[in-house]
Amino acid sequence: MDREFLTDLFADFGPVTIRRMFSGFGISADGTNFALALRAGLYFRADEITIPQYEAEGSKPFQYQTRAKTVTVNSYWQLPARLFDDTEELSQWARAALAAAQRAALRKRPKARKAVKKAASKAKAKPVGKKAKKRQPRKKSSS
């Protein structure tokens, strides 16, 4: 798949940003990546809400091979081949994929905020610019 083909494919969906990624392209809208166009096919972002739709079409999640094993990425599922001929329905699937990507982004945000809060509270706990008191060795008590 080339850039021009992808642009035409998403014409009914609306404007998308297509960037080189791995062995293909990452496709995003409104700053959110929701699709991958790779040698193996076109994969849309999916979650617990949209995965049943892919399963009903007989689609599979994205997989790649490492030296040791096959890795399955359940967050991206292959777009059913029949949708390449129906850009209107493809745009509906693309909207669902974008919504799944946005939901995933919302779930990630609180974790990032927690990490920032932890770092801030640790910084407050340590006095800055003050020398730490040197501990005196304990005296041995005579028994």
pLDDT digits (tens, 9 = 90+) for 38-61: 988 999 999 999 999 999 999 999
Q: Report the distance separating Cα 82 and Cα 57, nearest Å.
A: 10
What pLDDT score does 39 carry? 83
The chain-wide mean pLDDT, for the chain, equals: 84
pLDDT tens string 59-96: 999 998 899 999 999 999 999 999 999 989 999 999 99
- DSSP letter string over 114-128? HHHHHHHHHHHHSPS
Please give the average per-residue pLDDT across 109-113, as a whole number. 58
The more confident residue out of 92 and 135 is 92
The more confident residue out of 125 and 93 is 93
Element containing residue 43 per DSSP (H, E): strand 41-45
What pLDDT score does 52 carry? 96
- With H, G, I as helix, E, B as strand and everything else as coil, classify residue 45: strand
- Where do the domains of the chain lie, and which CATH numbers do they carry? 3-106 (3.30.1460.30)
Q: Report the distance separating Cα 5 and Cα 36, nearest Å.
A: 14
- DSSP letter string over 52-82? HHHHHTT--EEEEE-SS-EEEEEEEEEPPGG
- Band (pLDDT 50/70/90 cuts) for residue 135 is low
